[in-house]
Amino acid sequence: MPPTTPSDETSPSFADLGLRPELLRALADLGYEEPTPIQRAAIPPLRAGRDLLGQAATGTGKTAAFALPLLDRLPIGAGPGPLALVLVPTRELAIQVSEAMHRYGRQLHARVLPIYGGQPIGRQLRALAGGVDVVVATPGRALDHIGRGTLRLGSVGAVVLDEADEMLDLGFAEDIDAILSATPSGRQTVLFSATLPARIARIARQHLTDPVRVELERESVSAGTAPLVAQRAFLVARAHKAAALGRVLDIEAPAAAIVFCRTREEVDALAETLNGRGYRAEALHGGMNQEQRDRVMTRLRSGTADLVVATDVAARGLDIEALTHVVNYDMPAAAASYVHRIGRVGRAGREGVAITLVEPREHRMLRGIERLTGQRIHIEQIPTIADLRARRLETTRAGLQEAVLSGDLDQFRVVVETLADDYDVMEIALAAVKLAYEASGAAEEEEIPAAPVVERAAPVVERAAPVVERAAPARRGQARSARAPVRVAGRPGGGARGGSGLESGSTQGRSRLFVGLGRDAGINPSDLVGAITGESGLSGRDIGAIEIADRFSLVELPAASIDDVVKALRNATIRGRRPRARRERERG
């Protein structure tokens, strides 16, 4: 069957998708206004019990795309369970997905349990024994529990493989096969993956029955319709987004901007934050009545407000002639909606600017947008405190210049003249500038840490190397010393070497970078790949073998790039810490 390509034209509501009232209430409480394209495409077949093979990256709303129909369809709370098993590659994702399912299933009192390596097993055992509806697990830990008999899969009616390509890259293929064979054969199986290479097709062939296919990346805009707008992106962790936006706006000083958020809650919260920063920001969302919305529009048109913070739904049909900037505070859920959003500026030959804040995990979506529009989006540094000071000084200078030019200063002359008896006129001028500068600005801020791109570590082909980045205890006879270095083989093109340990130095044309953070600091391969590709001009392909020991890590890179990477990493943080980085010293 040909894959479905969700379109942005028709927009049924969550209620139109047939979801039960408890779920609709939960979604309204969360401030979701309408389903994202992947949700529109995936929810109906999944509610009908079909298997599904979906291509979707983080940021598209894929979690709700599988979570909502499962919560809708399965008899939540009916027995000890579990009714659904969601497999994810990392503990972070296990926590994130289980929190999301918990929020969606709140009104149904769904019991959702994350289980992952590194968490005390006792707590997991107690929770499993008490009965659960949904288990969200990393494959290693799930297998441990299956082996111990503490995770019984007899009542599982649905299995989700989330970020399947990443699970394969982390070497979980066999574990996934083993887990799936332990589940009832009549179960529903859902596979989501950012990419659909042959290895994913194999899993799909083996474990999915007549799946519906949903692809997001097939969208295209016809040539010439992509708007000509200066596009900039900033990579920033979720926790720092509001502060980062404040800074970007301070530097950009837009005359009239629309800032897009995903939910009503975010719209209200961000409008408040921006008002606190001195902007005249208005909230606009689908929860407001027509009168309120008209008032907002009048304020924006008349210049009484500088910014409108809006959801996509509320902004639909909104036509503001004077808009100079479109800001994607939240990444749009599909590349096509990015094009719709930014099409609001840069019309009729006017110059417009589009600014996008990208969370590290959403990096892949940005690439999807670039493919769709055929335009490169440059990732820029979030303005630093020094940039903000420079901008404030410039504003102060411009203000003083204006005051000099406008004249009418005579009433202040006496102040300068009396001070000039005791002080140099230059000193007096400097003090006046200082006062003007201090009066112009907000409180001092803290530096926002650079966020590394979270891209997958160089993939490991067919478990050629011992990739054991799992905190699960040694199992099935694979006694690995708890403190043995973790190794990840590089891609063939990335100069992967045979299974040498930490002993060897550089190979031809390649050297190793020493990074003074290791397993003790919670470092994993994707942290290193993310920091290096995020901070330097290298791509994931340039990165070879990665070895992680307790206190340090070694990363194989093109020899000529090491000095640049060392320099680039000086401003980076990895897992909240500043890495010490240098070329690996050769040992004799």
Structure tokens at 380: 């820029």
Checking phi first, is residue 133 left (phi over 0); if not, alpha (psi -120 to 50) or beta?
A: alpha
Complex with ligand AMP: residue 263 or 573, whichever CB lies closer = 263
Does 573 engage in binding with ligand AMP (CB under 6 A)? no
Q: Smallest distance, Å, CB 235 to ligand AMP? A: 16
Of 58 and 524, nearer to ligand AMP (C-beta) is 58
Task: Give 36 or 533: the residue with its C-beta nearer to ligand AMP.
Answer: 36
Write down the H helix ranges in 263-384: 264-276, 290-301, 312-315, 335-342, 363-373
Dist CA 245 CA 274 (whole Å) = 9
Q: What minimum distance in Å lies between the beta carbon of 228 and ligand AMP?
A: 28
Residue 98 as a binder of ligand AMP (CB under 6 A): the answer is: no
- Least distance to ligand AMP from the beta carbon of 403, Å? 47
Q: Mark residues 138-177: x for contact with ligand AMP by CB under 6 A, - for none.
A: ----------------------------------------
Binding mask 37-76 for ligand AMP (x = CB under 6 A): --x------------------xxxxxxx------------
Q: How far is the CB of 55 from ligand AMP (least distance, A)?
A: 13
Kindly tell me which residue out of 6, 8, 32, 581 binds ligand AMP, with binding defined by CB under 6 A: 32
Smaller CB separation from ligand AMP, 52 or 565: 52
Contact pattern from residue 259 through residue 298 relative to ligand AMP, giving x for each residue in contact according to CB under 6 A and a dash for the rest? ---xx-----------------------------------
**CB 127 → ligand AMP: shortest distance, Å?**
24
- Between 32 and 329, name the residue whose CB sits nearer to ligand AMP: 32
Say whether residue 13 binds ligand AMP (CB under 6 A).
no
Q: Provide the sign of the torsion angle of the four alpha carbons 169, 170, 175, 180, taken in this order.
A: negative
Q: Does 199 bind ligand AMP (CB under 6 A)?
A: no
Number of H helices and number of E strands within the chain? 20, 19
Reference 336, options 180, 212, 191, 219; nearest CA is 219
Side chain identity at 516, as an amino acid letter? G
Nearer to ligand AMP, 28 or 559 (CB): 28
C-alpha dist (Å) from residue 240 to 290, 311, 384, 453, 577: 33, 20, 13, 15, 16
With binding defined as CB under 6 A, does residue 364 bind ligand AMP?
no
> Are the C-beta atoms of residues 280 and 415 closer than 8 Å to each other?
no
- Taking the C-alpha atoms of residue 361 and residue 459, their distance in angstroms, rounded to an integer, is 17
- Position 328 contacts ligand AMP (CB under 6 A): no
∠ Cα 317 322 328 (to 5°): 65
What tokens appear for 300 in the block?
């924006």
Minimal distance in Å, beta carbon 66 to ligand AMP? 9
Residue 149 sits at φ, ψ, to 5 deg, of 80, 10
- Residue 337 in the binding site for ligand AMP (CB under 6 A): no
Least Å distance, CB 443 to ligand AMP, is 29
Residue 362 vs residues 214, 235, 237: alpha-carbon distances, Å: 19, 9, 10
Contacts of 571 (CB under 8 A, 6+ apart): 450, 535
**Binding positions for ligand AMP, rule: CB under 6 A:** 32, 35-36, 39, 58-64, 262-263
